[in-house]
Every structure is written in structure tokens, then in C-alpha cells.
């Protein structure tokens, strides 16, 4: 069977943990951020788990996981 291609856009946006969970960053991080409070800006730094309905689609885009 041939090697599978990794979707490079998904590779940059998602990370897979050691336990296999796919983590994502929040949207809206870079634009219009000056008017937000410091607490709100800190909340953008954390990674969140992907919704379970999206995991099968993302596992197809990331066949070998992401560093």
C-alpha cells in the first residue's frame, strides 16, 4: 500500500497528544486583539480538544499524527 499524504494545513493547525487526543487553538487570536482584556487574551493561548464529530475527518487528514 502506498504512503498516505499528510494535509499540510491540518498539520499546522492541530496537534495530537500522547494519549491520541487532537488539540486545536482558538480562532480570532490575531485580529482586533488590542481592545480585549488581558484575561481574555490569555484564554486564547490554551489548546482545546477537537469536538468528537470532527475527529474521524481529522484522522483521515493526519494519518501519521502531528509533531
Q: How many domains does the chain have?
A: 1
26 domain-assigned: yes
Tell me the pLDDT tens digit for each residue of 4-49: 999 999 999 999 999 999 999 998 888 888 899 999 999 999 999 9
What's the burial of 4, exposed, middle or buried (CB within 10 Å: 0-12/13-18/19+)? exposed
2 domain-assigned: no
55 domain-assigned: yes
66 domain-assigned: no
Q: Which range marks the domain in which residue 37 is found?
A: 8-61
- Res 50 pLDDT > 70: yes
- Res 67 pLDDT > 80: no
pTM equals 0.80
Dihedral of CA 58/60/61/62: which sign?
positive
Amino acid at each position: 500500500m502506498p504512503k498516505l499524504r499528510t494535509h499540510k494545513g491540518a498539520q499546522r493547525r492541530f496537534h495530537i497528544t500522547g494519549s491520541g487526543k487532537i488539540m486545536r487553538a482558538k480562532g480570532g487570536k490575531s485580529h482586533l486583539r488590542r481592545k480585549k482584556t488581558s484575561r481574555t487574551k490569555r484564554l486564547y493561548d490554551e489548546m482545546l480538544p477537537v469536538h468528537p464529530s470532527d475527529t474521524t475527518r481529522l484522522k483521515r487528514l493526519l494519518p501519521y499524527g502531528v509533531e
